[in-house]
Amino acid sequence: MFKNYLTSAIRFISRNKAFTAINVLGLAIGMTACMLITQFVLHEFSYDDFHVKKDRIFRIQQDRYDKGELATRWASGCAGIGPDLKGNFPEVERYVRLMHSQPLLTHGDVFFKEEDVYYSSEDFFKMFSIKLISGVDSVVLKEPFKIVLSQSMAKKYFGNEDPIGKMIKSNGKTDYQVTGVFEDLPTNTHMKISALMSFESLKKLWNDPITSWQWDGFMTYIELNNRTNYKTFEAKLPAFIQKQAGEELKKYDAGMAFQLQAITDIHLDSDFMGEFKANGDRQSAYFLSIVAVLILVIAWINYVNLSTAKSIERAREVGVRKVMGSIRTQLVQQFLFESALLNTVAITIALILVVVLTPWFGELAGRNLNYLLFKQTTFWIWVGLLIVAGAVFSGLYPAFVLSGFKPVEVLKGRFKNSTQGIVFRKGMVVTQFVASICLIIGTFTVYQQIKFMRDQKLGINLEQTLVVNSPNIVDSTYQQKFAVFKEQINQFPEVEAVSASSSVPGRQPEWNAGGIRKISQGEDESKQYRVIMMDHDFIRSYGLEVVTGRAFSGEVANEDKSVLLNEAGIKQMGFAKPEDAINEQIFFWGDTFRIVGVLKNYHQESLKKAFEPLVFRYSKAPGGYYSIKFNTANVKESMAKFEEEWKQLFPGNPFISFFLDDYYNQQYQSDQQFGKVFGVFTALAIFIACLGLFGLSSLTAIQRTKEIGVRKVLGASVPGILGLMSKDYIILVLTSSAIATPLALWIMNSWLEDFATRINLSWWLVAIPSLFVMAIAMITVSLHTIKAARTNPVNSLRYE
Report pLDDT for 494: 94
pLDDT at 596 (0 to 100): 97
Residue 197, pLDDT above cutoff 80: yes
Contact 183, 152 (CB under 8 A): no
Mean pLDDT of 591-603: 96
Spatial CA neighbour of 395 closest among 347, 342, 335: 335
What gap in Å lies between CA 777 and CA 691, rounded to an integer? 10
Q: How far apart are CA 746 and CA 228, in angstroms?
A: 40
Mean pLDDT score, 475-503? 93
Task: Examine the pLDDT at 792 and tell me if it is beyond 70.
Answer: no
Residue 424 phi, psi dihedral angles, 5° rounding = -60, -45
User: Average pLDDT, stretch 78-103?
Assistant: 96
Q: What is the pLDDT of residue 671?
A: 81
Distance CA 669, CA 453 (A): 12
pLDDT band of 297, cuts 50, 70, 90: confident
The β-bridge partners of 223 are 57, 94
Q: What pLDDT does 405 receive?
A: 56
pLDDT for 699: 61
What is the rounded CA–CA span in Å between residue 441 and residue 447? 10
Q: Residue 487: which pLDDT band, with cuts at 50, 70 and 90?
A: very high
The enclosing H or E element of 529 equals: strand 527-534
Tell me 666's DSSP state.
G
What is the rounded CA–CA span in Å between residue 591 and residue 598?
20
pLDDT at 326 over 70: no
Report the interhelical angle of 237-251 vs 81-88 (nearest 10°): 130
Between residues 306 and 480, which one has the greater pLDDT? 480
**Which pLDDT belongs to residue 337?**
78
Q: How far is CA 510 from CA 48, 82, 533, 578, in A?
A: 26, 22, 11, 25
Q: Residue 101 has what pLDDT?
A: 92
The answer to whether 526 touches 517, Cβ cutoff 8 Å, is yes
Position with higher pLDDT, 791 vs 606: 606
* Residue 166 and residue 177 in contact, taking contact as beta carbons nearer than 8 Å: yes
Across 147-156, 338-347, 780-789, the highest mean pLDDT is recorded for 147-156
pLDDT confidence of residue 304: 74
Instruction: Give CA–CA dist 693/52, Å, rounded.
Output: 50
DSSP for residue 460:
S
Q: What is the per-residue DSSP string for 701-721?
A: HHHTHHHHHHHHHTT--HHHH
- Among residues 308, 620, 671, the alpha carbon closest in space to that of 484 is found at 620
Burial of 671 (0-12, 13-18, 19+ CB in 10 A): buried
Query: Stretch 359-380: mean pLDDT, rounded?
Result: 80
Task: Give the least confident one: 1-5, 122-126, 225-229, 770-774.
Answer: 1-5
pLDDT for res 322? 63
Cα–Cα distance, 688 to 25 (Å, whole number):
8
Cα 37 to Cα 57: distance, rounded to the nearest angstrom: 29
Task: Provide the mean pLDDT of the chain.
Answer: 86
DSSP 516: E
Q: Identify the CA nearest to 354 among candidates 688, 25, 32, 684.
A: 32
- Cβ–Cβ < 8 Å for 591, 516: no
Enter the DSSP assignment of 599: E
Q: How confident is the model at residue 165 (pLDDT cuts 50, 70, 90)?
A: very high
pLDDT of residue 627: 97
What's the average model confidence in pLDDT over 29-54? 90
Lowest mean pLDDT among 314-318, 374-378, 587-591: 314-318
pLDDT band at residue 744, thresholds of 50, 70 and 90?
confident
Residue 347 — very low, low, confident or very high, per pLDDT cuts 50/70/90?
confident
DSSP labels for 109-138? TEEEE-SSEEEE-TTHHHHS---EEES-TT
Q: Which residue has the higher pLDDT, 39 or 392?
A: 39
Nearest-angstrom CA–CA distance, 648 and 180: 35
Cα 746 to Cα 384, 441, 742, 743, 750, distances in angstroms: 36, 11, 6, 5, 6
- Can you say whether the dihedral through the CA atoms of 547, 553, 557, 558 is positive or negative? positive
What is the rounded distance in angstroms from the CA atom of residue 676 to the CA atom of residue 362? 12
**Alpha-carbon span 645 to 486, nearest angstrom:** 10
The percentage of residues in the chain with a pLDDT greater than 90, rounded to a whole number, is 45
pLDDT at 668 over 80: yes
Q: How confident is the model at residue 247 (pLDDT cuts 50, 70, 90)?
A: confident
Q: Are the C-beta atoms of 302 and 397 separated by less than 8 Å?
A: no
Identify each DSSP E strand in 67-212 by its residue range: 69-74, 77-78, 92-101, 104-107, 110-113, 117-120, 132-134, 146-150, 167-170, 174-182, 195-198
Alpha carbons 122 and 96: distance in angstroms, whole number: 7
The per-residue pLDDT for 709 is 72
Report the range out of 436-445, 454-463, 635-644 with the highest average pLDDT.
Answer: 635-644
- pLDDT attached to residue 685: 82
Least confident of 206-210, 669-673, 707-711: 707-711
Buried b (16+ CB within 10 A) or exposed e, 731-755: ebbebbbebbbeebbebbeebeeeb
Task: Report pLDDT for 316.
Answer: 63
Q: How many CA atoms lie within 13 A of 431 on its CB side?
A: 19
pLDDT of residue 309: 64
Q: Are 47 and 264 in contact (CB under 8 A)?
A: yes
pLDDT in tens, 122-161: 999 999 999 999 999 889 999 999 999 999 999 999 999 9
pLDDT band at 422 (very low <50, low <70, confident <90, very high): low
Domain extents in the chain: 1-47+281-417, 57-263, 440-456+662-800, 472-652
Q: In the 8-state DSSP scheme, what is residue 273?
A: B
Backbone Cα Rg of the chain: 34
Residue of higher predicted confidence among 41 and 251: 41
Helices first, then strands: H and E counts in the chain: 25, 25
CA pair distance 599, 547, nearest whole angstrom: 5
Q: How confident is the model at residue 5 (pLDDT cuts 50, 70, 90)?
A: low
Q: To 10 degrees, the CA torsion angle through 293, 295, 301, 305?
A: 180
Beta bridge partners of 562: 594
Rounded distance between C-alpha atoms, residue 754 and residue 743, angstroms: 19
Instruction: Place 590 in a pLDDT band, splitting at 50, 70 and 90.
Output: confident
The rounded Cα 29 to chain-centroid distance in angstroms is 24
Query: Residue 71: what pLDDT?
Result: 81
Gap between the Cα atoms of 101 and 171, Å rounded: 11
- Taking residues 629-637, report their average pLDDT: 89
What are the φ and ψ backbone dihedral angles of 149, each rounded to 5 degrees? -105, 150
Assess whether pLDDT exceeds 80 at residue 665.
yes
| First-to-final CA distance of the chain | 32
Q: Which of 339-353, 630-644, 666-680, 751-765 is most confident?
A: 630-644
Residues 676, 359: Cα–Cα separation, whole Å: 15
pLDDT average, residue stretch 741-751: 86
Angstrom distance (rounded) from CA 431 to CA 778 = 17
- The Cα 237–Cα 256 span in angstroms is 10
Tens of pLDDT along 693-728? 776 666 666 666 666 777 767 777 777 777 777 777
Judged against a pLDDT cut of 60, whether residue 389 lies above it is answered with: yes
- Does residue 394 or residue 447 have the better pLDDT? 447
